[in-house]
Amino acid sequence: MTATAYVPPVDRHTEILARARSVLDPVLRAAVATLPEPMQRMAGYHFGWWDAEGVVIQGDSGKLLRPALATSAAFACEGVPAEAAAAAAAVELIHNFTLIHDDVMDYDAMRHGRATVWRVWGLADAILAGDALHALATSVLTALLPPVTAMAAVERLESTVTEMCRGQHEDCHAGDAAGTVADWERMAMGKTGALFGCACALGALSAGANDETVARFEHFGRDLGVAFQAVDDLLGIWGDPAASGKPTGDLARRKHSLPIVQALESGTDAGRELARLYDGDEPLSADQIAGAAVLVEQAGGRRGTQLEAARRIRTAVAALPAKSGCGDLITLAQLVGHRNK
């Protein structure tokens, strides 16, 4: 059976994410416990384990998609998910380091329905907390993997972080000049695709896969990450804040996300009207933001982004080897295409 022929059972993605959580949770908690205060408390708060005073709660700890990709890639390479525990923890730590820093850069006050770390502890401590999670990711790999594998894993992880910084820089400056769809693709590959690819590659590496196989899983993850960013851009305009736990604000910030770039490049009357709205520097009113969302849709930005996400998912799945064990990765790919948060 080829990878593309796989049809997942209903709710299979829930089982895959739960498996990843069971593999990840003890390693992640043990790693965070090694952090000094106040970084340990800030990290646990960010992960939804306790409140700002350290009282245990049942908070939202995120989707765990990247750890699930790591454990599923190990399974696809005829390993067991537990072999990818270090990889799962490392990519989750890196992901959350970037989230804490992203909230600082964007001055976002809410994540998962709670105040962000910088809103509770301040900008300086939030930056330090993110830095601590970055350092912890490397420590987990070197502590839990065989030396040769750990060396390769750390090198891949750190090159990924560098690529992510480049992508984040481009995202932060996307509004400084007229951007194109090609500019967006480069940004999305760095900001999001790189870590998705790294998660899959580290999972395969943990299971002892050869270089060619690792490369194929990385290709899968990278394209899936770009699809994820495309869907994220849709949610940044039309998402439900009650589902995502954070407000939609891409239009208010005049951000050049994919639906907006496609609308601006459309050559339509709606696209030109949107461009005039984006050329201003006065804060947009609620009515203007609502009107801008309509213009983006009329100019084809919403539909075009949906099509790009679907195309990237097809490309990702086509990169996988023809193994029945790849079914869980295909299920996760389908989840990316249909998520609402």
**What is the torsional sign of CA 59, 242, 88, 338?**
positive
Mean pLDDT of 10-33: 94
Range of the domain at 219: 3-337
Number of structural domains the chain divides into? 1
Average pLDDT of every residue of the chain: 93
How far is residue 212's CA from residue 276's CA, in Å, rounded to a whole number? Answer: 49
Q: Where residue 196 sits, what CATH number does that domain have? A: 1.10.600.10
Q: Which of 121-125, 178-182, 332-336 bottoms out in mean pLDDT, i.e. has the lowest? A: 178-182
Q: How many CB atoms lie within 10 A of CB 57?
A: 11
Mean pLDDT of 310-319: 98
Write out pLDDT tens, residues 156-201: 999 999 999 999 999 988 766 668 999 999 999 999 999 999 999 9
Percent of the chain with pLDDT over 90: 84
Q: Where are the alpha helices (DSSP H) in the chain?
A: 12-32, 39-46, 65-76, 85-106, 117-121, 123-144, 147-172, 181-188, 194-206, 211-238, 241-244, 258-264, 269-279, 286-298, 301-319, 327-337
